[in-house]
Amino acid sequence: SLFDWAKYKTAKGAIKMHTLLDYDGNLPAYVNITNGKTADNKGAYDIPLLKRSVIVADRFYNDFSLLNVWDTSEVFFVVRHKENIQYTRVKENELPDNRHQHILIDEIIALTGTKSKEKYPKRLRRIAIYDPVNKQQIELITNQMSWTANTISELYKARWEVEIFFREIKQLLHIKSFIGTSENAVMIQIWTALITILVLKALKAMAKYKWYLSNLVAFIRLNLFVKVDLQKWLDHPFQDHPPP
């Protein structure tokens, strides 16, 4: 493998970018880059979290030791649980009439698996929702007992912004292929891409014109060596602007 430092498989190297995406602005608040062998949940233990933060994550983070760390730190979580979870129902919450119709179950559970209940001995809330787009049932667990099932559902729906962020990084900034093969070269390219996406979103927020990020990237590439007032160009990209 050209990337012999990025341990993954015998003939293939890989890295993982463990990312905490801030809901406000959909930008990374924390990034930890590891080799591809590091499990997603293992890379999450070092993420610094503020009390009463809300973490929304996919089933790869359904690690009850990790969830217990978050709960003990007064951090709320909404995580898609694995299909083989063992539990017993403690209480079934009544579904209100004004709920979203895709909410199927809202209940309080206790884990019954020998290892899982040792790792997380407290009660959990389990909510099952129906995804009409992919025609599947999604089952969530959370330590937040007071929010409505609608709110929990909308929180998990917002997790899609993570997929959008990584798509932007890979497609708009061409991070799918690397200029160099050394660890230093790859890290420089990734961190440069992260800084670039931060600058691009700042420019997008500054502009009066309603840019799509893909269009902004394309227009900047076309005008990279044009001397123009940046703010005026961002606000009115299709007007002629005299050089400053």
Of 67-71, 107-111, 223-227, 233-237, the range with the lowest mean pLDDT is: 223-227
More confident residue, 38 or 20: 20
Query: 131 with 102: CB under 8 angstroms?
Result: yes
pLDDT at 78 over 90: yes
- What per-residue confidence (pLDDT) applies to 63? 93
Q: Which residue has the higher pLDDT, 194 or 132?
A: 194
Give pLDDT, residue 224.
Answer: 86
Does 3 score more than 60 pLDDT?
no
pLDDT given for residue 4 in this prediction: 61
What does the chain look like in DSSP terms, one character per residue?
Answer: ---TTS-SBTTB--EEEEEEEETTTTEEEEEEEEETTS-TTGGGTT----TT-EEEE-GGG--HHHHHHHHHTT-EEEEEPPTT--EEEEEEPPPPTTS-TTEEEEEEEEE-SHHHHHH--S-EEEEEEEETTTTEEEEEEES--SS-HHHHHHHHHTTHHHHHHHHIIIIIS-TTS-S--SHHHHHHHHHHHHHHHHHHHHHHHH-SS---HHHHHHHHHHTTT----HHHHHH-TTS-----
Residue scoring higher pLDDT (189 or 174): 189
Beta-strand pair 76-80/54-57? parallel
What is the residue extent of each domain of the chain?
A: 52-158, 207-244
pLDDT at position 2 is 54
Per residue in 210-237, pLDDT tens? Answer: 999 999 999 999 988 888 899 999 999 9
Sole residue written with tokens 């809300």: 54
Residue 110 pLDDT level (bands cut at 50, 70, 90): very high
Q: Specify the pLDDT at position 183.
A: 83
pLDDT of residue 13: 67
